A and B are shown apart, each in its own frame.
Chain A
């Protein structure tokens, strides 16, 4: 009998983590039940039991860390007795990709999910003094989620399963599409986002279960939610950049179910981040907020279900497997618990205030939520419609980019419009005078932008079949001008007031202004980033492409660029064979760069992959693909895209990231927004209702 010390250690730690998580869930629940309605310290046994549950939760993180380490170790030591390692690595894989093998297959990515969840749980449990009882509720709920994933890992998709038969000398290799630097960071970012929403979900559900007074739970979870949202944003756009750089079709978003699965919780999470402000400031929208965060969490699970169960086909979903059934069950349980808790405690969610005016910040938040949820519904609808169509008509249909682009464009433009006007409206009610004062400048900017754009040639009526995309671009650019002006005017107005108060110049006053209220002005930065991204996306209306066979000395012209093929050749290393062309790029008569698009053929997996060559400027991307060789002439076929304003999308993302970081920084005049409760107290309402 062969011995497999590391895989067996990994399997053992997974089982141990499951036992610890079950203990956290059960004993945590028992402790919460025993101590309901009594002050801390009265039921000492109950408190002690709760503390053991907390420590078991912390220990589950240690156990899962050991399991993740065991898998990475098996990858680094080429332990092909482990089926997962055999199927996702090979000896000649570079170190970074051997590490990323942890999340390149189903079992590994589930382990990553469970490990991240335990890491979030670890932080939550270590910081439990922020509010002991609420943290205990959240910890118990997180343990429940963790139990589900650990059951999957132990019984349905074990990452340490031993490959039967003799141990192979080399593995099948990592999918070539995943052998790209961004794939080392994109999945963990995305998973940090997905898994992170478990924390605000757990706090929201816990707060509802214990009838938590006031809105402090929102304050506690604000940073969690923002950090999670930031991770998800980064994950989504790293994925988009990876698709752009690797897949070689010239685009960055294909509306694939896997992409949709990440976008849906992002949309509802964004809606939650906005509407939660209404609860903080006005005590409104409590039910709405609770369901938004419930939905966001369930959408992260639904996304996983959609891509893992094989009910929708995706170009980069994992192979269909039977774990979909587990996810169905889990979603039903989560939904049942949420629904039951909501109906039991719904009187706790009554609004403290009512909306006073149609023209107010509150109503703009409502419409913002409406738009985001409409977009989410559209994406969900498009993802599920093929199943519905098969059920009703007996035939599947394809829901590709034409559907999503057409339906989401007006929604996106409305969102852009609200991004501009929302922050200009006051809470409660906005006077006509204020509207006039705040909207004149953006209105003028939009008018000027419209005229200038038409003068430079953005004319839908002259764009032939492309009139729709040109029209949408024109509207986007015009709205963007208005929104940027509105944001700039907000900064200017605030800085002028500070300058008057402090006597400092406008630049210094702007810095003071931002530092005094980082959340608000960080939010404006995020909005600005979103607008910049919209500009980049709208640039897609003017994409051009050309495909040509290019022998040595042949020339291809596209837009302002001229590409001359210097040579084409092939090379080989231990991991892959490569064919590439060397293309000199000229702008006018000046040579600006040399590009080398290539196509690789990976030995281990026996598959090929495109390596795009890119010359990127602020105005446009020259995107060159080596499509292969013409078998008749043996010359390479080169496809070139000219994608205007692509960089604006990535720059916009960076601004969004910077803005979110800024919003997380504590205000200058106040200490960090940490709220501590001196000691857990009797919650009267809880005594009566739990």
Chain B
């Protein structure tokens, strides 16, 4: 019962959030948003709306196409797919076509999450161990090391 209630609340929240987002979306901001999600085809390596080449052979035409697509009522995804189909996948400023493109997004997050969990686990393990053992001494001969460390401690701790 509680679970169902929670699910409903979550759905309602998601709908509200979507509504807020969609209601706030205006054509000009959509133009800006979608225009920043693709590159200029002229090879300058810049985002479409940031290409500032004088006499750029592509940006004006592409901007016109973008306006036409937005006015035709296409969704962001369909517009981006249209451009990708016409100019190739490299026209998209980020890989968003699904499939293997998803790996680009998942890998950094997965590494980050795994590393966070790993560090947390490591700290936990070390903490438990240190509760059972006296700290170990230096592995090798420590000529002058303790003295130096003590000096560093004095210098770096107030």
Interface residues of A (CB under 8 A from B): 211, 213-216, 219, 247-251, 254, 256, 277, 280-281, 283, 313-315, 347-358, 363, 366-367, 370, 373-374, 377-378, 381-382, 385, 389, 392-393, 395-403, 406-407, 411, 427, 461-467, 494, 497, 513, 516-517, 519-520, 599, 608, 610, 625, 627-628, 639, 667, 670, 673, 675, 681, 683-685
Residues of B within 8 A of A315 (CB): 44-46
Which of B91, B103, B126 gathers most chain A CB within 10 Å? B126
User: Quick check: A283 and B119 within 8 Å, CB to CB?
Assistant: no
Query: Which residues of chain B in 102-150 are interfacial with respect to chain A, using CB atoms and an 8 Å cutoff?
Result: 103-105, 107-109, 111-112, 115-116, 119-120, 122-124, 126-127, 129-130, 133, 135-146, 148-149
**Which 6 A-B pairs rank lowest in CB-CB distance, beginning with the nearest?**
A214-B145, A464-B24, A628-B54, A400-B93, A350-B139, A315-B45
User: Quick check: A354 and B129 within 8 Å, CB to CB?
Assistant: yes
Residues of A within 8 A of B108 (CB): 374, 377-378, 381-382, 407
User: Quick check: A277 and B156 within 8 Å, CB to CB?
Assistant: yes
Which of B54, B127, B140 gathers most chain A CB within 10 Å? B140
Residues of A within 8 A of B68 (CB): none
Whole-angstrom distance between the Cβ of B49 and the nearest chain A Cβ = 8
Whole-angstrom distance between the Cβ of B158 and the nearest chain A Cβ = 6
Name the residue on A nearest B34 (C-beta).
A465
Whole-angstrom distance between the Cβ of A157 and the nearest chain B Cβ = 24
User: Quick check: B29 and A349 within 8 Å, CB to CB?
Assistant: no
Residues of A within 8 A of B133 (CB): 354
* A355 and B52 in contact, given A465-B25, A517-B155 (Cβ under 8 angstroms): no
* A370 and B95 in contact, given A213-B141, A401-B47 (Cβ under 8 angstroms): no
User: Quick check: A397 and B90 within 8 Å, CB to CB?
Assistant: yes
Whole-angstrom distance between the Cβ of B117 and the nearest chain A Cβ = 10
Residues of B within 8 A of A377 (CB): 108, 111-112
* A402 and B111 in contact, given A249-B52, A467-B24, A639-B52 (Cβ under 8 angstroms): no
Alpha-carbon separation in the docked complex, A312 to B5 (Å)? 51
* A403 and B158 in contact, given A280-B152, A352-B136, A353-B135 (Cβ under 8 angstroms): no
Indicate whether B11 reaches chain A with its CB closer than 8 angstroms: no
User: Quick check: A281 and B95 within 8 Å, CB to CB?
Assistant: no
Whole-angstrom distance between the Cβ of B58 and the nearest chain A Cβ = 15
Alpha-carbon separation in the docked complex, A211 to B141 (Å)? 10
Whole-angstrom distance between the Cβ of B46 and the nearest chain A Cβ = 6
User: Quick check: A314 and B52 within 8 Å, CB to CB?
Assistant: no
Indicate whether B37 reaches chain A with its CB closer than 8 angstroms: yes
Q: Which of B29, B88, B119 contacts A465 (CB 8 A)?
A: B29
* A610 and B52 in contact, given A213-B143, A402-B36 (Cβ under 8 angstroms): yes
Residues of A within 8 A of B124 (CB): 358
User: Quick check: B156 and A281 within 8 Å, CB to CB?
Assistant: yes
Alpha-carbon separation in the docked complex, A398 to B91 (Å)? 7
Alpha-carbon separation in the docked complex, A583 to B107 (Å)? 48
Whole-angstrom distance between the Cβ of B88 and the nearest chain A Cβ = 7
Whole-angstrom distance between the Cβ of A196 and the nearest chain B Cβ = 22
Indicate whether B86 reaches chain A with its CB closer than 8 angstroms: no
User: Quick check: A517 and B156 within 8 Å, CB to CB?
Assistant: yes
Residues of A within 8 A of B39 (CB): 398, 400
User: Quick check: B24 and A213 within 8 Å, CB to CB?
Assistant: no
Alpha-carbon separation in the docked complex, A325 to B102 (Å)? 31
User: Quick check: A355 and B155 within 8 Å, CB to CB?
Assistant: no
Name the residue on B nearest A395 (C-beta).
B89
Q: Which of A250, A353, A370 contacts B50 (CB 8 A)?
A: A250
* A367 and B119 in contact, given A397-B101, A464-B25, A467-B21 (Cβ under 8 angstroms): yes
Alpha-carbon separation in the docked complex, A215 to B139 (Å)? 12
12 inter-chain pairs at a CB distance below 8 angstroms, sorted by A residue, are A347-B139, A354-B129, A363-B119, A370-B119, A374-B108, A374-B115, A377-B112, A385-B95, A396-B90, A494-B158, A516-B158, A685-B140
Whole-angstrom distance between the Cβ of A434 and the nearest chain B Cβ = 14
Residues of B within 8 A of A256 (CB): 45
Q: Which of B33, B107, B123, B136 contacts A366 (CB 8 A)?
A: B123
Task: Say whether chain B's binding surface is mostly helix, strand, loop, or mixed.
Answer: helix
Alpha-carbon separation in the docked complex, A516 to B126 (Å)? 34
Name the residue on B nearest A393 (C-beta).
B100
Q: Which of B55, B92, B99, B135 contacts A398 (CB 8 A)?
A: B92
Alpha-carbon separation in the docked complex, A66 to B128 (Å)? 60
Residues of B within 8 A of A406 (CB): 94, 105
User: Quick check: A673 and B45 within 8 Å, CB to CB?
Assistant: no
Add 15 more A-B contacts to A366-B122, A427-B157, A517-B155 (CB < 8 A). A214-B143, A216-B148, A247-B52, A248-B52, A283-B138, A367-B119, A370-B115, A374-B112, A381-B108, A396-B90, A397-B104, A407-B109, A465-B26, A517-B157, A685-B141
Interface size class of B (residues with CB under 8 A): 35 or more
User: Quick check: A215 and B141 within 8 Å, CB to CB?
Assistant: no
Alpha-carbon separation in the docked complex, A215 to B153 (Å)? 12
User: Quick check: B45 and A254 within 8 Å, CB to CB?
Assistant: yes
Alpha-carbon separation in the docked complex, A675 to B21 (Å)? 61
Indicate whether B72 reaches chain A with its CB closer than 8 angstroms: no
* A399 and B94 in contact, given A313-B45, A389-B100 (Cβ under 8 angstroms): yes
Which of B21, B26, B91, B101 gathers most chain A CB within 10 Å? B21
Whole-angstrom distance between the Cβ of B155 and the nearest chain A Cβ = 6
User: Quick check: A249 and B144 within 8 Å, CB to CB?
Assistant: no
Alpha-carbon separation in the docked complex, A147 to B141 (Å)? 34
Residues of B within 8 A of A378 (CB): 108, 112
Indicate whether B4 reaches chain A with its CB closer than 8 angstroms: no
Alpha-carbon separation in the docked complex, A377 to B123 (Å)? 22
* A519 and B112 in contact, given A354-B133, A355-B127 (Cβ under 8 angstroms): no
Whole-angstrom distance between the Cβ of A559 and the nearest chain B Cβ = 16
* A462 and B24 in contact, given A354-B133, A381-B104 (Cβ under 8 angstroms): yes
Whole-angstrom distance between the Cβ of A632 and the nearest chain B Cβ = 13
* A280 and B149 in contact, given A355-B130, A381-B107, A667-B155 (Cβ under 8 angstroms): yes
Alpha-carbon separation in the docked complex, A484 to B111 (Å)? 30
Indicate whether B7 reaches chain A with its CB closer than 8 angstroms: no
User: Quick check: A627 and B54 within 8 Å, CB to CB?
Assistant: yes
User: Quick check: B155 and A463 within 8 Å, CB to CB?
Assistant: no
Residues of B within 8 A of A463 (CB): 24
* A385 and B104 in contact, given A352-B136, A353-B135, A367-B119 (Cβ under 8 angstroms): yes
Which of A254, A370, A398, A673 gathers most chain B CB within 10 Å? A398
* A370 and B116 in contact, given A356-B127, A397-B90, A517-B158 (Cβ under 8 angstroms): yes
* A398 and B145 in contact, given A256-B45, A281-B152, A347-B139 (Cβ under 8 angstroms): no
Whole-angstrom distance between the Cβ of B62 and the nearest chain A Cβ = 14
Residues of B within 8 A of A357 (CB): 127
Indicate whether B20 reaches chain A with its CB closer than 8 angstroms: yes
Mark contacts of B23-43 with chain A using CB atoms, 8 A cut-off: 1 yes-contact digit, 0 otherwise.
011100110110011010000
Name the residue on A nearest B130 (C-beta).
A354
User: Quick check: A461 and B141 within 8 Å, CB to CB?
Assistant: no
User: Quick check: A363 and B152 within 8 Å, CB to CB?
Assistant: no
Name the residue on A nearest B126 (C-beta).
A355
